[in-house]
Each structure stands twice: as C-alpha cells, then as structure tokens.
Structure 1
C-alpha cells in the first residue's frame, strides 16, 4: 500500500460558550492547526494532559464533530467533503472504543442486541454466527449473548465494546482511553487483546491516553499535544524527548521501580486558559528554558520528518 491511511491537514476546531446576562460569549481553540499522517497498520499514540484536545481530535478525524478548517483524508478520500450517505458508507471502515465501558453499552439491550447494533446502523444483514464469532474474538463465551451489561465485570464490558467496534471489520479504530477505568491487572489483559487483534486483523489504531508509559509500550509513534496543538511527534517509543513538555511528562509518570520513584518530578506552574492563550508558546509559563522570544512568538512544528518538534530551544 502506498501513502498513509489517514492524512490530517490543518485541522482546527473552535468551541464558543454562550454569553449570559452578565457574561460575554467566549471562544476556545480546542484543536489548533493539526497536521499528521497515520500509516497503514500503525498504532499511533496521542498523549497529553486532560483538556489538551486528544478526544476532540479523534472525533474530528471520524467526523463525529465538524472542523472549522482543515481536512481529513481517509485512504485517498476526503472525509470532510463527503455528503451524509457517502460518509455513512466510509464509516464502515472506521470505529471507536470508548473510555467508560459502564456507560457505552445500553443497559436495556442484551449483548446480542448490542453487537448487532452496527449492522442495523449500517443497514447490513447480520450473519447467523456473527454474535458468537464476535464474542469469541474477544475471549468471551457464547453463553453471555443473552446477558445484559449490568451482569458483566468492567473488563468483560470493555471486551464487548471492542467486539462491537470490530463488528463490521473496520480498518481504523480509535481507542479513546480504553483502559482508564479498569484495574491494572485488567488493563494488561485488554492491551494484550488489542495487540493480538491488531496482528490478526491488520488494524490501524489511534490510541489516546494520558498514560505515557502505556503508550510507549503499545504504540509505534507518539504524538504529544498541549492545549490543542501538536508540540512533538516521537518517531518511535524509545526516542528521547526534544520538547521540554514531553520531557516533563516522562519525568512525572509513575515508576513501578521503587528505586526510580525518587526521580519523579511533577509538572509545576499554571496551565493557561484555553479561552485566553498567550501570544507566544503556550508552555512558556511552565518551561525552564523559555526566553523572551518564546513568550512573544508561537513556534511552529518543524518540518523535520525524522522528529518534528515545536520549540525554539529543543532538548
């Protein structure tokens, strides 16, 4: 296959808050001029603190929300230009696994009805053995088909969510913090399952997480976001960080080795308001390397294909 599966160019999304009697309307830049490619069969990680725009970016890619500017091309087809009928057909090749397995499954439905839902939405016939095959693909017995979500554990619910996402055998799957609400031991099982499914089905993943350690274990490359913008793209999970924010994220993560816990250095400083971003680098107020240029001028993501970084003073 030639070319990336997904190409994102200049993607931007603003959200406005309605003004009240004593308040003016305000605008927030949730995603700021994001451009990147996702290769066929790649697991691309997207990391950053809460509110950095990770989930908004994922929903823009799937066109669950509309961008204010920019475009998304999926396997040569520009999604942002498709009419509704063509977009529905294109979505058969895309899916999403949500963070919370407790709220992403309709409690009124049996598991058989939950797994049949993608076929109904896409107006596709349901094969006779589809439900049992989907349950088996995620390590669940066929006997659970008549159960409801409240009868399952958190790990089982997330397996059902994964099975539902893969029902129509998509090429691209967004994993939006798929292990965040699970116990550590269950997280390891879900990550192993996702890795196995990727190998078996040739899937391409966009893996969103605030856990940089998990992303470094699971993904091929890592996109680091800060306040809606991409500040660095690590070419592989073992690459040394070049942006001070990425380095700070790595230092602030939990270290399972007791001997290394003394090295943990949490991020300090106030995060700027997304409704009033500073004129220069958004990280300048928390960065020990910041200069007057950083506070006055916003750095663009470099065009270095090996290791892009948006910083005037990279590590």
Structure 2
C-alpha cells in the first residue's frame, strides 16, 4: 500500500496483499487486503478504538463513511480479465458445479455471471471493516456484502491488478471509491505525459486569439501508440487552447486554478467529455479545462449533471467564437 496523497492510496499487485480466490481444500474466504496501520487515518479509523463485528475484533470506523465500487470502472476491469476465465488455466482453484455456486466458478459462464450482476446492480456500496492483525498491518474486509464478495473474494484477480482507493466528500460524508485496473489497461492517467505537457506549455502565452483560431481548425480522432499501454497522441495546440480559453478558471466549479505551474500559467487539466478511449474526438468542442479536484471528480463520480454543465459551457465558448 502506498499513500499517494491525503485522499488517495494505491495497491499494486493485489494478490500479494492476500486477495486470492479460495484454493482447493480451503474453508476460508479470500478478499482480505493488507493495509498499513500507520495509514488508518485515511479510512477515518482509530487504532485506540475497537469493536466486534461477527466475532471479529476490528478498528472502529465512522458510521457515516460510504464505501463503493464504480460501475463503469468495474465493468472495464471485468472485460480486461475475461481471458483469465475463458482460458481456465487455474487448475488449483476450487471448481464449483452446483447452480447456487455459479458466481464462484472460474470459467466463461462464471465471468458472464459476475459481469451481469455488476451491470444490473443498482447499488455498488458495501459494508467495509478494518480487521486487527499485527501492530504494523491490518486487513480490509467486508461483512455480508454480495458485491464485495463477487468482485474481490470470489473473482480471480491476476497478479498485475492495481487498486486505487479515492476519498471524496459527498454531502458531508467521506466516500471511498475502489477502482481496479490492470497495468496494461487504458486509464485517464495514461493520457498525460511530461513531454506532451511541455509541448502544450510552449503553445501558451504567445497569442491567445491566434491559438484559439488554430485549435478550431483542428480536431478529430487521435492516433495511438502502443507501448505497455495504449497512449493517445493528443494535439498540444488543442490542449493549450482549451486551457487558455478557460482564462485561469475551472470550467466546472468556476474557481481560479489552485496554483500556477513552473511557467507561471494557471494550472488546469484538459478533460475530454467523451473519453478518447470511448472514441471521443480530440477537439476543442470535446474538451474543457478543469482544476485537479473537478477532473478527479469527473472520472470518479461521473455525475451526468456535471457533464451537462460542461456541455453548456462549451456551447457558450462556441457561440462566442462564432460571433467574432
């Protein structure tokens, strides 16, 4: 477990943390993920306060906390590990034949069952607890939750799975979103790279009007490069124009950029309303400039109301451009 910042932690190679499906001959459950006791404050836990849940001594958590998966992320993750089920190479795992246990099976039918359950689920929240272990580590577990068991305890998790837990505040409650991916999967983080950002910065601060006019004459489906992941070859002119167009303010919350970058420009991040990974255009009519908090919110919460706000914002920009 790595602490990225106050509101994000990261687990690499999840099975090394204990989340393997139950092996043959075992009577226990999988899905208990190790965390560092020193980071218990991330979850709002208290090492000096404990309680008992289902016979387990656990660290007390704030009862108002919300723990959940993100449906789109979860469906993308299931699609990325489909071959792990279809190839059925994991002979040392339990094989279930009873119809009532089909959600535990490691085959294509088991994969389909899991994915359909996730797709049709109306609520992806679960009841998490932090189980006491040793003084320097504990376990993330879950009590009586079908969705957590389906995703973690009884899903084959390849060794190259990564887990990020993001903490946001929603309606006065701390909300913890569990995001799973493979190292080779496309993620919005892969749309950023230092070389590209340096090229974007070179385009800014020269002639804003000329930059915007140039950007409006560009756009379309970006090219791709494949290394260990898929990287979209975005147009730096468009990215620079989107940031200049915002004039130092986030297109969603309307607040000033939280800080200036090393070149003295307001720090905002380009966001595509229709993701490039979903076939969206790399164009000025499909992109906005967001502060880091709103950018993260768009990828984690994915609130349709925010999307509508950004669509209206782009329309205002387009109308203003057409009047000139």
* Larger RCO (CA within 8 A; separation ≥ 6): 1
Select the structure that is richer in strand.
2
**Normalising by the residue count of structure 2, what TM-score does the alignment of the two structures yield?**
0.25
Report the structure number with the largest CA radius of gyration.
Answer: 2
**Normalising by the residue count of structure 1, what TM-score does the alignment of the two structures yield?**
0.25
